[in-house]
Chains A and B, each alone.
Chain A
Amino acid sequence: MKKSNMWSFKLSTASIVLIPAAVGINYIGKLFAGVLKLPLWLDAIGTMLASMLGGPIVGAIVGATNNIIYGLTMDPISFIYALTSIAIGLVVGIMAYKGWIKSIGRAIVVGLVVALVSAIVSTPINIVFWGGQTGNIWGDAAFASLIANHFPVWMASFLDEILVDVPDKIATVLIAYGVFKALPKKLTILYSNDNELEQL
């Protein structure tokens, strides 16, 4: 039997239970980064883990749920950034399925791609809601200096977002990769979609 399609939407109970755990991990990552005062967000670890375990659709659902819950309980503007989280979940899920999380080098490439996609999706949202800024000190300082030198707004906003996203997403991918490799097979088997039969 061959591996079933990565888009096959089999929302098993195991996948459903994975979603709250992944959102919790996102929240904890953000909390720890705050407590340790690290200059990164680290709020997508759970989304990436869920994508590596359950595929792009589960990852996308985790991303959407994450932002909906943040929007309801902390910061309503998070609702619209669900698009970015969904994009992250989809990208990591697709690349994981194609075998891009086999080594640290490949994982870093995944991180770069995710950072790029996340910046592309977030920039229009940033421009409409915040006039192009992102809320991060270093990024906004870069934005201010670019605008002062008459760069177009979309370019300044995009570079602002990339400056913050690249280190953040690469670190997130590496952490998620480390945890994924250390998970017992008993757990990863629950989510694997291939219907392969093993014969001696």
Chain B
Amino acid sequence: MKVLSLYQERDTIIHKVDPISKILYIIISIAIPIIMPYKTIGLVCMGVSIVLLLIAKVFKKVIPLVSFSMIILLSIIIIQGLFNDSNKTAAFRIGSIVFYKEGLLFALEICIRVINILCAFAILVLTTKPSDLIESLVRRGLSPKIGYVLSSVLQIIPQMSSTMATITDAQRSRGMETEGKLKVRIKAFVPLIGPVVMNSLINTRERAMALEVRAFNSKANKTYLNEEQNNSYNKAIKLILVILFIFVVAWRILI
């Protein structure tokens, strides 16, 4: 069954690290540049994330993720470079348009922060199977019902996408226009979305009954199909990350 995820199957040590450590890494690599507001710290965290991505051999897959935000980052650079309130010193000119240093530096800060967050998340998302992630969270205490909700969303979305393709074809073969002026396209939206929405909502009734029949609401302790993977280095990684965080906070308070 197709599951909506970005997981890349590779055999590296990053893939073997447990998901909770990766979540801890994300929190710390986002928190450290905020706690220590030196511009280079953001670059250092970004560098560490990129090195980890290279070790996990998934670096090429980060490019589509980053290019998703690239357009808006570009527009931020342009708009801040031109119009930021504290613009005084000119950096360079293109024709009669002046780009200012303060705005460009501000935009650079935003870009570094965003790319840092994206790379840290990419480590989690590209090297962890969603089912493994949800299973670790449920083992740590997340309610199994919420675990079910998250897993089923990841399965439902590909299903609905293929239904959408079928319904689009069906409606088009019955004479519905999907290209042309704005009015024509707006008129096409309701006959496309109506059947999909109705279908999925009416199916919820069936699904609820199917779950109840399989003891979804039972309060008994659930058992797991997979054995828990407890490598020794997982504890070491978590310990290192927590110590690093405390160190950074202490540095900030004392210096």
Q: A residues engaging B (CB < 8 A)? A: 11, 13-14, 16-21, 23-25, 27-29, 31-33, 35-38, 42, 45, 49, 65, 68-69, 71-77, 129-131, 133, 135, 140, 143-144, 147-148, 150, 153, 175, 178-179, 182-184, 186-187, 190
For B, the interface residue count at a CB cutoff of 8 angstroms equals 67
Binding-face segment, B10-18, B74-82, B88-96, B241-249: B74-82
In the bound assembly, the distance between CA atoms of A73 and B29 in angstroms comes to: 20
Residue of B nearest to A140 (CB): B75
In the bound assembly, the distance between CA atoms of A183 and B201 in angstroms comes to: 9
Binding-face segment, B51-59, B205-213, B225-233: B205-213
> Could you name 26 residue pairs across A and B whose Cβ atoms are closer than 8 Å?
A13-B208, A16-B148, A16-B216, A17-B204, A17-B207, A17-B211, A18-B204, A20-B149, A21-B204, A24-B153, A25-B200, A38-B186, A38-B189, A73-B4, A73-B5, A76-B122, A129-B113, A131-B80, A133-B75, A133-B76, A135-B72, A147-B83, A175-B190, A175-B193, A183-B201, A187-B205
In the bound assembly, the distance between CA atoms of A69 and B83 in angstroms comes to: 35
Q: Are A21 and B149 within 8 A (Cβ)? A: no
Q: Does B40 contact A (CB under 8 A)?
A: no
Question: Smallest Cβ distance from B124 to chain A, in angstroms?
Answer: 8
Contact with A along B169-201 (1 / 0, CB 8 A): 000000000100010011011101110111011
Residue of A nearest to B200 (CB): A21
Q: Are A28 and B76 within 8 A (Cβ)? A: no
Q: Are B216 and A23 within 8 A (Cβ)? A: no
Q: Are A36 and B185 within 8 A (Cβ)? A: yes
Grouping DSSP codes into helix (H, G, I), strand (E, B) and loop, the A interface class, with mixed when no group exceeds half, is helix
In the bound assembly, the distance between CA atoms of A17 and B122 in angstroms comes to: 29
In the bound assembly, the distance between CA atoms of A144 and B189 in angstroms comes to: 32
Question: Smallest Cβ distance from A171 to chain B, in angstroms?
Answer: 9
For A153, list chain B residues within 8 Å (CB): 85
For A35, list chain B residues within 8 Å (CB): 168, 178
